[in-house]
Amino acid sequence: MEMSLVDRWICGAEVALRTLSGGSRAERATPTAPAGAAAPELSAEEKRLSGALMRVNHVGEVCAQALYQAQAVATSDAGLKAQMARAAREEVDHLAWTEQRLGELGDRPSLLNPLWYGGAFLIGLAAGRLGDRVSLGFVVETERQVERHLESHLERLPAADLASRAIVAQMRSDEAEHAVAARLAGGIDLPAPVRGAMRLAARVMTGTAHYV
């Protein structure tokens, strides 16, 4: 059934509230370290570092919800809407896993999440306005950058933090698939200055979320 504009905005508001209130539930089980792997106790220092990195990753997933939501609202292509919704569901898993891990580490999500969500939503809407191929190109580039970023976290996370590492590794492979799917759906390559601006914005966001 076709949703009215009001219905769509109500759905969007519901997703925003769920994302920001910590009420997200994963459909897939939380990735865990291979069976039989010893789980060493983390030092206070290691916990702090893992907490900061997982907070950054949680912010990334808050932004992913906003971006996919905004782009699903912006497109009139039913197939593309469905694809965005599918990817957004996997991003909900990421959101729930990182949130759960933050709790286990005795840490908290970013205090600025409403701000990140709002900003990412506006950027997603703007990308959506430029047409589906640009919008998909934006998804391709975002997911590729996130994949590289998660790769760097696998190098920085404490070797002993097997639980966080298992989550980040699964997220990295999901993001790579999201990029491929958006590419196959017709996403174009964005110009280098746009990609550079996106990297810069991501650096500001990750740098801030490490602490706040």
The CA radius of gyration of the chain, in Å to the nearest whole number, is: 17
Q: How far is CA 15 from CA 10, 42, 49, 137, 160, in A?
A: 9, 34, 29, 24, 34
Under DSSP, is residue 185 helix (H, G, I), strand (E, B) or coil? coil
Toward Fe ion, which CB reaches closer, 42 or 167?
167
Alpha carbon 211 to chain centroid, angstroms:
18
* Region of 22-30, 34-42, 83-91, 152-160 interacting with Fe ion (CB under 5 A): 83-91
Alpha carbon 54 to chain centroid, angstroms:
12
* Region of 6-14, 62-70, 101-109, 113-121 interacting with Fe ion (CB under 5 A): 62-70
Question: Mask: binding to Fe ion, 115-154, rule CB under 5 A, as x and -?
Answer: ----------------------------x-----------
Question: Mask: binding to Fe ion, 157-186, rule CB under 5 A, as x and -?
Answer: ------------------x--x--------
- Joined tokens for residue 29: 């089980």
Residue that the structure tokens 């609202």 belong to: 73
Toward Fe ion, which CB reaches closer, 60 or 158?
60
94 binds Fe ion (CB under 5 A): yes
The residue type at 134: V
* Region of 17-25, 49-57, 58-66, 198-206 interacting with Fe ion (CB under 5 A): 58-66
Toward Fe ion, which CB reaches closer, 75 or 83?
83
CB of 40 to Fe ion, least distance (A): 27
Q: What does the alpha-carbon distance between residue 205 and residue 60 come to, in Å, rounded to a whole number?
A: 9
Toward Fe ion, which CB reaches closer, 73 or 88?
88
Cα angle, residue 109 at apex, residues 177 and 68 outer, rounded to 5°: 35
Toward Fe ion, which CB reaches closer, 3 or 154?
154
* Region of 38-46, 88-96, 110-118, 188-196 interacting with Fe ion (CB under 5 A): 88-96
Closest C-alpha to 95, from 63, 123, 47: 63
CB of 145 to Fe ion, least distance (A): 11
Cα angle, residue 161 at apex, residues 156 and 166 outer, rounded to 5°: 90
Q: Which residues are at the interface with Fe ion (CB under 5 A)?
A: 64, 91, 94, 143, 175, 178
